[in-house]
């Protein structure tokens, strides 16, 4: 098969495969960028935010604010906004919620940035592959209509085979990056829930859900 590919694929197929390769490279770059960005933003890290909340709920507001002043992750920055607003506005929860929510929205917007590039590749790759197949089928049947006498079935089969390659490649790219995008979106959704829970816990305290179990 490897020996057949260079001879069997026509110019249109190589062009579409090149576009698909470029799109997959862009999507891979974005995916790796988002993974490292999530690490830098502390997505999924709960230890330090939990310690800050615990210290605040035990009455050590100054200590909690000092810990939150590091502002090294998204969750810690949200907590810092809430705690500093409570201190500066004499415990006004509405102002604290508003300011903390603003910071949380900024952090979530940063997490969601460039995700549309992945979604574009997921949607465009199958269509590009299908375009290659349609053009290939048109060319294959065009040659068939121009043939004189008996038609060699292997010629038609070879044309269809090369035409279907672009669809297979497009689908493979779309499926792979669909699951990558789904995983990244899931992490953003879980981080959104965690930030909302942190804001609520700081402003209203911890809620017990079952004996011996609490949500932070």
Please check whether residue 212 lies inside any domain of the structure.
no
pLDDT for 164 equals 85
pLDDT for 85 equals 92
Closest CA to 28 of 163, 132, 125: 125
Domains in the chain, number:
1
DSSP label of 60: -
Please check whether residue 213 lies inside any domain of the structure.
no
CB 109 within 8 A of CB 195: no
* Cα dihedral 149/9/6/167 (nearest 10): -140
For tokens 């201190």, name the residue.
Answer: 87
Please check whether residue 216 lies inside any domain of the structure.
no
Please check whether residue 105 lies inside any domain of the structure.
yes
Please check whether residue 211 lies inside any domain of the structure.
no
Question: In which band, very low, low, confident or very high, does the pLDDT at 71 lie, cut at 50, 70 and 90?
Answer: confident
Please check whether residue 88 lies inside any domain of the structure.
yes
Q: Report the C-alpha gap between 21 and 9 in whole angstroms.
A: 15
Please check whether residue 215 lies inside any domain of the structure.
no
Closest CA to 115 of 177, 170, 168, 62: 177
Please check whether residue 180 lies inside any domain of the structure.
yes
User: Which residue range forms the structural domain that includes residue 121?
Assistant: 4-206
- Return the H-helix or E-strand segment holding 209: strand 208-210
pTM greater than 0.85: no
- Encoded tokens for 159: 């044309």
pLDDT at residue 12 above 60?
yes
Q: pLDDT tens for residues 76-108?
A: 999 999 999 998 988 889 999 999 999 999 999
Integer Rg of the chain from CA: 27
């Amino acid at each position: 098969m490897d020996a057949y590919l260079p001879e069997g694929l026509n110019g249109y197929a190589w062009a579409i495969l090149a576009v698909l390769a470029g799109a997959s490279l862009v999507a891979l770059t974005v995916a790796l960028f988002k993974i490292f960005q999530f690490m830098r933003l502390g997505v999924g890290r709960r230890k330090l935010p939990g310690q800050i909340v615990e210290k605040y709920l035990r009455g050590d507001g100054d200590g909690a604010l000092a810990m939150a002043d590091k502002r090294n992750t998204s969750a810690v920055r949200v907590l810092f906004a809430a705690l500093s607003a409570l201190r500066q506005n004499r415990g006004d929860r509405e102002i604290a919620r508003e300011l903390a929510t603003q910071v949380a929205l900024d952090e979530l917007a940063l997490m969601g940035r460039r995700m549309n590039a992945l979604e574009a590749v997921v949607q465009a790759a199958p269509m590009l592959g299908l375009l290659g197949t349609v053009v290939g089928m048109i060319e294959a049947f065009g040659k068939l209509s121009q043939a004189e006498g008996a038609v060699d079935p292997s010629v038609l089969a070879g044309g269809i085979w090369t035409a279907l390659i672009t669809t297979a490649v497009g689908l493979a790219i779309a499926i792979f990056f669909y699951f990558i995008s789904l995983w990244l979106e899931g992490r953003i959704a879980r981080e959104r829930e965690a930030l909302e829970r942190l804001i609520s816990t700081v402003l209203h305290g911890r809620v017990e859900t079952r004996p011996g179990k609490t949500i932070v």
